Amino acid sequence: MKVLVAVKRVIDFNVKIRIKTDGSGVETANVKMSMNPFDEIAVEEAVRLKEAKLATEIVAVSMGAAQCQETIRTALAMGADRGIHVPTDVELQPLAVAKLLQVIVAKEQPRLVILGKQAIDDDCNQTGQMLAALLGWAQGTFASKLKLEADAATVTREIDGGLETVKLKLPAVVTTDLRLNEPRYASLPNIMKAKKKTIEQMTPEALGVDPKPRLTTLKVAEPPKRHAGKKLASVAELVDKLRNEARVI
């Protein structure tokens, strides 16, 4: 069984985000970038499926600038077999990514697509669901546990009320939650081997997809600073402030 994993290059989660002076977006120049943490979990799960002899090949896909190949190399060092890069300088939004993945899925014919449930840069949490809709495949989102059988996948999902277990008929799309696994560190020998693995390039034009944004960002601004809290002497004083200052009761 072939597994396709989508990986995104984002600002490293340890970096303090800075807004551009013109308010047009987030500063990315000279900023450390890395693989989206949820996508690391997706790659790790695919590698575990291969180690368990449930998957035969893992294909890592990334879209964007030329530096995205570094992200693909990271996935290859973790255990993916080969990579696909869709080079573009256009700002890719979830629908465009889903349409590009739809065409790649049609070419590669995987039985399972695994993505992170969201990217930490835009927090959209849309691509997996959109891809499943475009493909007409079953979907298991926010997976905290995944079990594969011959023609089905059992997914334990994180929901507001606790956990939900769904059984999906393959092929299917699964998006990963934080509790699914703990990604491994790529060893030095595997990092060296990853440099020799194949990364194929497919342009949006060759895939027949127009990736232009459908949404326009008007302005990006930092959230207002929180005011210092106050320590109150009694419940009566708390009720008074909620009623007369906050006006929430």
H helices within the chain, ranges in order?
Answer: 37-51, 68-78, 94-108, 127-135, 188-194, 204-207, 235-244
How many angstroms separate the CA atoms of 177 and 147, rounded? 15
- Of 98-112, 116-130, 215-229, give the lowest mean pLDDT range: 215-229
Per-residue pLDDT of 37-87, as tens digits, reads 999 999 999 999 999 999 999 999 999 999 999 999 999 999 999 999 999
> What pLDDT is stored for residue 230 in this prediction?
84
C-alpha to C-alpha distances, 98 to 47, 62, 145, 210, nearest whole angstrom: 23, 12, 24, 12
Per-residue pLDDT of 196-223, as tens digits, reads 999 999 999 999 999 999 888 889 988 8
Per-residue pLDDT of 151-163, as tens digits, reads 999 999 988 888 9
- Tell me the mean pLDDT in the region 32-36: 94
Q: What is the pTM of this model?
A: 0.86
Q: Is 22 exposed, middle or buried (0-12, 13-18, 19+ CB in 10 A)?
A: exposed
How many angstroms separate the CA atoms of 174 and 49, rounded? 13
| Domain ranges, ordered by start, for the chain | 2-244
pLDDT at 238 over 90: yes
How many angstroms separate the CA atoms of 99 and 115, rounded? 14
User: In 3D, which of 203, 42, 182 has the Cα closest to residue 112?
Assistant: 42
According to CATH, the topology of domain 2-244 is Rossmann fold (3.40.50)
